[in-house]
Structure 1
Amino acid sequence: MQDTSKYAVGIDIGTNKIRCVVGHVDVSTGAPTVVGVGEVSNSGMRKGVVVNLAGPSKAIDDALGEAERMSGYQVNAATLSINGSHILSTKADGMIAIGMAGQEVTEADIIRLEDVATTGKVPANREILELVPFSYRLDGQDGIKDPVGMTGTRLEINANVVSALAPHVVNLQKTAEQAQVVPHALIPSAVAASRAVLTEQQLENGVAVIDFGGATTSIAIYEEGDLQYTAVIPVGSNNITNDLAIGLKTDPEVAELVKLQHVTAVSGRDSKKVSVKYEKETHEFATSEIDEIVEARLEELFEDINAELKKAGRKGKLPNGVVLVGGGAQLKGLVDYTKQSLELAARIGKPKGFGGVAEQLESPAFATAVGLMFSDMENVENPSLHKSSDKTHRAKQGVSQAKGFVSKFLDRFRA
């Protein structure tokens, strides 16, 4: 009997944490059931990019080990997140001649048009992660979403090109290879998280996903069903910890406890003394001092976020507001602070659309990993896992990036 089981794996490679989600796909319904989850601390990364291959490689291996023990399957390949302020959105357009009058537009014409649109727009040292077509124009007819099969002589495209610096892409691929994992695709973290937390209506009306990570804050803006803009700000929750350590004149470990236990994004509370215990020693701080430090950092971060929204032409113009994901999104009062600072509706995004091990994944910290798993469902034609308990037998296949993650992601909503 032929085994029709299919598995999808998402690995969120964060500066602080590696999170892995393994899903079993029901071939009859196409719905995923999460069967394995792994989360471990990471090292060897700075501001979302790899600076030491050994650190994240070991962390990936450890996270996969946790997920493999839970699921009983061995991971050979996965869809990975990519992060860092080097990720850019670039508007591009182009035009080609189809040929003789009455000739149909083919897939080859689309590929040729995309090449024309990106030539000269994306520098040679950048790797194109994806080209998102906003619309096509065929012989003067505007607003075409898919021109394949239509007849005409002149085809134009208006698109968004998402690209990353090639050295960072190569380093991430090498890190995965060292952990004996084949990357099916590399997807910006906020774009991946969108796959797990947004609805079709939000994608159409206009919405932004903001991924608050440890060292970066990623933004993905959608409207009319398309990814309009993405950017990464090199500031995250680690900066709050560091500011607290400096301002309170204490160790970073103590500052992290203060952040987790006593920090709130909305200031104005009555001043009082709070304490944290670290290594059998109790440390006391004034809430007024804590609030002053955190407010200064959040004000600077949200000025940057507003600047990116303005650059995208969407400042204060997103009907569905913003959806907050990532570990940093769990900061007390952040939703209210976001509403005040961005003058938009805001809510915490929790992953949905799957069954199985749900309790741990309800956290916004797992939104990117779950979204990567959803994308991996569409990036693989064969099962990405083989039943085994021996990790030394992982296949060492060539690294290849699957095309079309954004378009496939959106097609699922349109279906």
Structure 2
Amino acid sequence: MQCYDFATTDTSAILSFMQEGSTYAVGIDVGTTTVRTVVAHIDGATGVPTIVGVGHVPNSGMRKGVVVNLNGPAQAIDDALGAAERMSGYQVDAATLSVNGAHILSTHADGMVAVGAADHEITRDDLMRIEEVATLGKVPANREILDVIPHAYKLDGQDNIKDPLGMTGTRLEIDAHVISGLTPYLENVQKAAETAKVHPNSVVVTSIAAARAVLGEQQLENGVAVIDMGGATTSIAVYEEGDLQYTGVIPIGGVNITNDLAIGLKTDPEVAEKIKLEHASAVTRKEDAGISLKHDGEVLTFKTSDIDEIVEARLEEIFEAVQQQLRNAGRAGKLPSGVVLTGGGAQLKHITDYAKNFLGLAARIGKPTGYGGVADDIEKPSFAAAIGLMLFDAERIAVSGQGKKKTSHKKPTRKGVMHSLTKLFARFKA
């Protein structure tokens, strides 16, 4: 192991030692009401990301997942990153971002190409070429392709090939799933990040990011849907046989429940939000009772029956729209692993019981996995998308092998330097 004499070595040499072999992955969930950021250090030996920084701040300037004022999300991204930077000791200059909104479309595509002589081996160039052929003319000019998910390939008549790389054949066909979004909306999210001095490594749909953090291989294989209940949108991603089968976004979310409570109970939105988080229930209670809370020095009293009636009406609208999305995917009532709920709305009491009864499927709250480290609130379903984005960023680094060049790794901040030096002194003293 390389050792330094800290009494004689200058700070730049110490920092160089600290950064040797370090790689960082960052996920930024740009939600309508909140921006959440997760920074993780990637272990060089195991490749497992360890969360070292977390930030979450209120957002403005967005409606139903779409940017309507660049200044709001740009400032929120900057503030959320600032909190994560202070915790981790590192500055962030690149990340994987989320995108949301009803403009996200899920479509089917297929195509065929001749790849060469009978002894030709399928290469990555062949796979890229057939994806281009499959999507040509399938996506309008004002839309940008976010991802192409191959469901199966056919090579010279042989069906259901998952990965033809290295196989021999002359005619290659593909059956794929294409996710796209409106180009101006995607560009605005990227511009908001760039205004905050953050380069977007890639952009991922929120529900797909959440699914990356909370789903296991068996669930993906059996058939499962992730329902990400955000502030102003509810996103769905359906998986089966290990692949994404469908994704959709509903422009209704937790804010609608808050607003309904504010109107129905004739109170301020701040009080309504507190009632929703602390006293609301997704399942109607049998016994009516009174609840009290303090606001601006005044004690306010409400009936649980009134709260339940308001919440139930809005949940019925949301889950009817979710059921319609599952029908569109051809999976209504047909998912062996049921649904997994993520997002801030998943924190509503008894929400899994409501989802189970309404959708006729098993339901549970999604708990993010696949990382090390512990931080406040990180295990909540509201952080699932941000953690999933960080995991996608870590995978991108592993595939590209260019973590040091293109990740968020930069010189530590002044405060981070002192914190890290303290750790190093302890380590070398030991």
TM-score, normalised by the number of residues in structure 1: 0.92
Letter in 1 for 2:282: A
Correspondence 1:73-84 to 2 at 5 A? 73-84=90-101
Task: Please state if 1:254 is matched with 2:278.
Answer: no
Task: Please state if 1:319 is matched with 2:343.
Answer: no
Q: Which of 122, 136, 156 is matched with 2:153 structurally? A: 136
Q: Which of 150, 154, 167 is matched with 2:167 structurally? A: 150
Larger Rg: 2
Q: Secondary structure at the match of 1:271?
A: coil
Q: Secondary structure at the match of 2:378?
A: helix
Letter in 1 for 2:306: E
Partner of 1:387: 411
Contact (CA 8 Å) 2:39, 2:84: kept in 1 or not? yes
Partner of 2:361: 344
Partner of 2:374: 357
Correspondence 1:6-155 to 2 at 5 A? 6-155=23-172
Contact (CA 8 Å) 2:54, 2:375: kept in 1 or not? no
Q: Which of 280, 284, 290 is matched with 1:263 structurally? A: 280
Contact (CA 8 Å) 1:91, 1:161: kept in 2 or not? yes
Q: Secondary structure at the match of 2:403?
A: coil
Q: Secondary structure at the match of 2:382?
A: helix
Amino-acid identity (%): 65
Distance 2:228 2:258 in 1: 18
Q: Secondary structure at the match of 1:185?
A: strand
Distance 2:215 2:117 in 1: 43
Partner of 1:210: 227
Letter in 1 for 2:232: A
Q: How far has the Cα of 1:389 moved from its partner? A: 1.9
Q: Which of 172, 176, 182 is matched with 2:193 structurally? A: 176
Distance 1:255 1:377 in 2: 39
Q: How far has the Cα of 1:104 moved from its partner? A: 2.1
Distance 1:180 1:208 in 2: 35
Distance 1:265 1:124 in 2: 42
Correspondence 1:268-347 to 2 at 5 A? 268-347=285-364
Per mean C-alpha deviation after superposition, the further-off stretch among 105-114 and 83-92 is 105-114
Correspondence 1:227-246 to 2 at 5 A? 227-246=244-263
Distance 1:100 1:372 in 2: 41
Unpaired stretches in structure 2, ≥5 consecutive residues: 1-16, 416-430
Q: How far has the Cα of 1:388 moved from its partner? A: 2.9
Partner of 1:409: none
Unpaired stretches in structure 1, ≥5 consecutive residues: 392-415
Letter in 1 for 2:151: F
Task: Please state if 1:223 is matched with 2:247.
Answer: no
Q: How far has the Cα of 1:47 moved from its partner? A: 0.3
Task: Please state if 1:188 is matched with 2:205.
Answer: yes
**Number of residues of Structure 1 aligned to a counterpart in Structure 2:** 391
Q: Secondary structure at the match of 1:355?
A: coil
TM-score, normalised by the number of residues in structure 2: 0.89
Per mean C-alpha deviation after superposition, the further-off stretch among 224-233 and 357-366 is 357-366
Contact (CA 8 Å) 2:259, 2:269: kept in 1 or not? yes
Q: How far has the Cα of 1:359 moved from its partner? A: 4.3
Distance 1:382 1:359 in 2: 27
Distance 2:369 2:170 in 1: 44
Q: How far has the Cα of 1:53 moved from its partner? A: 0.4
CA deviation map 1:22-50 (0-9, x unaligned): 10010101111111111111111100111
Letter in 2 for 1:309: L
Contact (CA 8 Å) 1:325, 1:365: kept in 2 or not? yes
Per mean C-alpha deviation after superposition, the further-off stretch among 308-317 and 255-264 is 255-264
Distance 1:346 1:358 in 2: 26
CA deviation map 1:316-342 (0-9, x unaligned): 111111111111100001010000001
Contact (CA 8 Å) 1:127, 1:164: kept in 2 or not? yes
Distance 2:45 2:412 in 1: 25
Computed over aligned residues only, the root mean square deviation of the Cα atoms, in angstroms, reads 1.4
CA deviation map 1:253-286 (0-9, x unaligned): 2211221121100014211222222211222222
CA deviation map 1:102-144 (0-9, x unaligned): 3222222211111111111111111100000000001110011
Distance 1:103 1:73 in 2: 48
Distance 2:81 2:403 in 1: 19
Q: How far has the Cα of 1:390 moved from its partner? A: 7.2
Distance 1:60 1:131 in 2: 28
Distance 2:38 2:96 in 1: 10
Runs of 4+ in 1 over 6 A off after TM superposition: none
Q: Secondary structure at the match of 2:186?
A: helix
Contact (CA 8 Å) 2:223, 2:336: kept in 1 or not? yes
Distance 1:74 1:304 in 2: 41
Distance 1:311 1:113 in 2: 27
Distance 1:118 1:279 in 2: 57
Distance 2:212 2:127 in 1: 25
Q: Secondary structure at the match of 1:120?
A: coil
CA deviation map 1:64-90 (0-9, x unaligned): 111111111110100111111111110
